[in-house]
């Protein structure tokens, strides 16, 4: 959430920067609500002062010749009227504040000055490429054809059990999926300094609001039909980042930043995405990720984004998968992010680079919603932290990339060298 005072003092700048994201901030509505809130506060304060003065009138009324009972009755009547007006003014201020907060919750983060202009993913800017796409001496297949030919991937069984956009993996592919998860966790915890955490797969509305999924993206979530508002987690970003909600971290805790790695299933209804990537495992209602989350001091977040992105890249490089790194333009930037790098892996079956990881710096946007703070030793006061996260990587999409890049003409799949130990020595998956 954006800082109210910052918006008030820099309204022109806020409107212009949000326009880079394609968001039209309603400045007239904001100014109207802000002015009404200010006036309601003034009215309440004035009535409080009147009440205080009225309480002192008993003595002067008695001195003017009225009895004590008459003076008390007169003052009581005055206080009753003031209290009625004060209650109305307080309620009005509360309602206006609620509308103002609702407006701010629906307002995205301001993009970094480093974010390029653009309206869609076509305007994202490539930073560099790693690895060369393999040249096949046969026509490469996509992952669905490969998996079905091996009899180890079935969308039909997934649809029978749950519905469309679910997949069943078996035998070698199920094991490869598990091996990828373990390899990613081991790499991030043993080589990149992340602390592994295990978190709930069900989250409450407060947690989702804290990271920016609510109220804006409720239609993309799976909400449970329970007494309380529970949701299946759309990404480990939500429960892991909420570990620091309502916390004041010490300077020592943030000396090198907090770094969490977490594997979870993720659940997304993908509302509005009908017709896109419905074939195969690119866009599923249920998928798995190894998520990286960092909590850092404000001055460290830009460097932390570069480091976190590099950690995700290290997985792709270890698996020898060609990819490219792009910085998202304003129009493609996520709601809560101020800057994002996408890593896009090469998929021979599509002859295209496809997203496999998004790594984002949120600045203090999530922290303000979460009230996640640290005590700055220079001021001795609590200040907002900065939060970051990124996929390290999306497990299902990595499996897709392995199938397509390591396929052989006979339909078998060679296991990358880095994964052979996790496959108990198996070097090739065959039907």
Binding annotation for ATP:
268-270, 355-358
**119 labelled catalytic:** no
**276 labelled catalytic:** no
**134 labelled catalytic:** no
**397 labelled catalytic:** yes
Q: How far apart are the first and last CA of the chain?
A: 51
363, two tokens: 């600045």
Q: Is 339:305 a contact under the CB 8 Å cutoff?
A: yes
- Rounded to an integer, what distance in angstroms lies between the CA atom of residue 17 and that of residue 156? 46
User: CB under 8 Å to 344, separation ≥6 — which residues?
Assistant: 323, 324, 325, 326, 353, 354, 355, 356
- Rounded to an integer, what distance in angstroms lies between the CA atom of residue 65 and that of residue 49? 26
Q: Which of 165, 268, 368, 369 is catalytic?
A: 268
The binding site for L-serine consists of: 235-237, 268, 291, 389, 391
The binding site consists of: 235-237, 268-270, 291, 355-358, 389, 391
Is the dihedral angle over the CA atoms 400, 405, 411, 414 positive or is it negative? negative
Q: Residues in the chain, how many?
A: 431
Q: Which of 358, 368, 369, 373 is catalytic?
A: 358
DSSP state, residue 223: B
Place of tokens 């297949």: 141
Determine how many CB atoms are found less than 10 A away from the CB of residue 250: 10
- Rounded to an integer, what distance in angstroms lies between the CA atom of residue 401 and that of residue 288? 15
Q: Is 289:235 a contact under the CB 8 Å cutoff?
A: yes
**369 labelled catalytic:** no
Q: How far is CA 362 from CA 87, 299, 367, in A?
A: 39, 13, 9
Place of tokens 């703070």: 373
- Rounded to an integer, what distance in angstroms lies between the CA atom of residue 360 and that of residue 188? 17
Q: Which of 74, 121, 320, 355 is catalytic?
A: 355
Comparing C-alpha atoms, which of 366, 372, 307 is closest to residue 337? 366
Q: Which of 129, 175, 245, 283 is catalytic?
A: 283
- Measured in degrees and rounded to the nearest 5, phi and psi for residue 407 equal -70, 150
Please list the active-site residues. 268, 283, 355, 358, 397
């Amino acid at each position: 959430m954006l800082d109210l005072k910052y918006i008030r003092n820099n309204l022109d700048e806020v409107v212009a920067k949000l326009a880079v994201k394609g968001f039209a901030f309603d400045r007239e509505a904001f100014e109207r609500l802000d002015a009404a809130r200010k006036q309601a506060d003034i009215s309440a304060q004035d009535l409080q002062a009147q009440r205080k003065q009225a309480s002192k009138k008993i003595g002067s009324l008695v001195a003017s010749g009225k009895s004590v009972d008459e003076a008390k009755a007169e003052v009581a009547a005055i206080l009753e009227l003031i209290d009625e007006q004060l209650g109305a003014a307080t309620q009005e201020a509360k309602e206006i504040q609620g509308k103002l907060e609702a407006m701010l919750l629906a307002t995205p983060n301001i993009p970094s000055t480093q974010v390029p202009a653009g309206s869609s993913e076509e305007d994202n800017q490539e930073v560099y490429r790693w690895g060369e796409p393999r040249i096949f001496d046969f026509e490469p297949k996509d992952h669905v054809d490969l998996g079905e030919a091996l009899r180890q991937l079935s969308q039909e069984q997934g649809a029978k059990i749950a519905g469309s956009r679910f997949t069943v993996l078996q035998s070698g592919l199920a094991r490869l999926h598990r091996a990828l998860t373990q390899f990613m966790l081991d790499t991030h915890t043993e080589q990149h300094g992340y602390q592994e955490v295990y978190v709930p797969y069900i989250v409450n509305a407060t947690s989702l609001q804290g990271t920016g999924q609510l109220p804006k993206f409720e239609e993309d979530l799976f909400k449970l039909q329970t007494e309380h508002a529970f949701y299946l987690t759309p990404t480990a970003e939500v429960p892991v980042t909420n570990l620091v909600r309502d916390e004041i971290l010490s300077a020592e805790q943030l000396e090198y930043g907090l770094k969490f790695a977490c594997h979870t299933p993720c659940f997304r209804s993908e509302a509005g995405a009908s017709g896109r990537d419905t074939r195969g495992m690119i866009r599923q209602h249920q998928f798995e990720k190894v998520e990286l989350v960092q909590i850092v001091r404000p001055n460290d977040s830009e460097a932390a984004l570069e480091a976190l992105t590099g950690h995700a890249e290290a997985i792709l490089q270890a698996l020898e998968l060609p990819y490219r790194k792009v910085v998202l333009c304003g129009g493609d930037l996520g709601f809560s992010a101020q800057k994002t790098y996408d890593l896009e892996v090469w998929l021979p079956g599509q002859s295209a680079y496809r997203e496999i990881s998004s790594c984002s710096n949120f600045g203090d946007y999530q922290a303000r919603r979460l009230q996640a703070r640290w005590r700055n030793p220079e001021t001795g006061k609590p200040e907002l932290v900065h939060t970051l996260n990124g996929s390290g990587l999306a497990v299902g999409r990595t499996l897709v990339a392995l199938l397509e890049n390591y396929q052989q003409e006979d339909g078998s799949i060679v296991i990358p060298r880095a994964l052979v130990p996790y496959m108990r020595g198996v070097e090739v998956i065959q039907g």
